Structure 1
Amino acid sequence: MNFNQPLNRASRVYVAGHRGLVGGAIWRHLENSGFTNLVGATSAELDLRNRKAVFDFFAEVKPDVVIDAAARVGGIQANNTYPAEFLSDNLQIQVNVMDAANSVDVDRLLFLGSSCIYPKFADQPIREDSLLTGALEPTNDAYAIAKIAGIMQVQASRRQYGRNWISAMPTNLYGPGDNFHPEHSHVLPAMMRRFHEATETGADEVVIWGSGTPLREFLFVEDLAAASLFLLENYDSPETINVGVGHDLSIAELARRVAGTVGYTGSISQDPTKPDGTPRKLLDVSRINDLGWKAQVDLDEGLARTYAWFLENAASLRSK
């Protein structure tokens, strides 16, 4: 359904997770789009797992619009190692945010999930109606279940309270503000850091996880930020909607592209004893494209901009 109701630029917009990769990009995009009443709270100021604190915050702030970009996130190793925390923390965060939003009658809300909600062996490219049609990828099923619950809560709130709430499922994200931790980050920033450090130390080999054959799609986070505002103003449906670029590449090819961006000239090898995860995860983005939105930043440009940000912040990132 086409909503076609532009947001008032003076609306009070609460961006949950505004210091993270996604929330930070959304905050910048909203500022650049003329919004003048943005609200955020750091995790030190507001623990979104603390239900009373979240309700008190909403009662005080009374936002007109909520964008839920807050989540506990990590790469395949973190998801596989800490499934209990990934399930519990994400359930608490989104339930508290959405229940509190309902308590103060927030009518416009966007919940951001993840493409890992879809079955491991879903038909490619993955359509939105693939949800709940098969088994999940075991290495991140706990995180996926939490995000599926978020979609269900959006749909339940629409049904019970008549809210204009929506959910969107972005593909793999990267960009300025990403987590470059060598063990707990996602594949692209982890690669970027490892190739950078190998170049600094003169290492002649970098080993990447798995066989290198899985296919992945990567969306520059500023494109997701633009899509988020676009959907709030142009989409109103209980069904979640995919956000991606519509094409993918192998992990091995990604490694070559990242190495080229960084300037690494050594060899790249695979460690097949490490898990590959889902063999392919390409989103069908025809629905959002048909509404009039398409990603604008190609991978090479996105990698260059991400690496420039990494270099500017490398000193502080090394201590994390």
Structure 2
Amino acid sequence: MQTDRQTPDASVADAPADNWVDRHAPQDWRPWLRLSRADRPIGTWLLLLPCWWGIGLATMADRPTLRDLWIALACLLGAFLMRGAGCTWNDITDRDIDGRVARTRSRPIPSGQVTVKGAVVWMVAQALAAFVILLTLGGAAILLGVASLALVAIYPFAKRFTWWPQVFLGLAFNWGALLAWAAHMGNVAPAPFLAWLAGISWTIFYDTIYAHQDAEDDALIGVKSTARLFGRDSKKWLMGFGAGAVTLLALSVLATGASGLSLLLAFVGIAAFAAHLAWQLKQFDMTDSAGCLRLFRANRDAGLLVALFLALAGLV
């Protein structure tokens, strides 16, 4: 399923230096793991963290059980697999665009490391493995998981018809807040719905920063993004979406009905999240591509702060 245009050792240009795939993965597996972005784990984190928010909110509204440990682990495995399947689908649909952008032309499909047919097989294999895990999470979570496929399918095309593809990414990437809550509670309620909306606002925040790396190339080939839409006003827009994420997270915590120390711990986490976003805004320079990538990756820590304090709030 490989071509002879590049060897499996050809790294992707925007992958972190000395990533585990390039250093430790078997050579024949490297193109496939790169196709899944396993050499860039930040995307898995950003897909996983809203899931853990959902578990934390559910334990604040109800109580933690040993099953929540499996839900947390299932979300981790599912996030890795579905992020890989989603990235594979994205690269299949974007193969012609990726070949025309400096940062992405070294990806496995445009560089010739993987054929389109092979990528389709790899995508289906990852999705099926994720579905097996989903089957352990209960009926409500299964329905939500299947429904999310529509969002995953649409996202790669969004930048062709709207200036707001980051919204479509947010819709898909934060669905786990609803799914994980449903895995614990068996239903959907205002608290996870508000967390989902908070995650969408957060995604617009961090992915606009990320999109500024490609703004010039995107303009040349006609690809739309919020980075291009906001332009020099990006910092003002980012401030608004950051404030929206913080406010909606606070409302989601209040919607759980928690009180006392549990409520206090959750709000400490949200305050830390807000401080992290404020720090990112202070550091943001739309002309500094390397800096934009560093800030984008820093959002793992921002989301972990929320997940950690929600977990503590559910335990007290």
Fold equivalence (TM over 0.5) = no
Q: TM-score w.r.t. structure 1 length?
A: 0.28
Q: TM-score w.r.t. structure 2 length?
A: 0.29
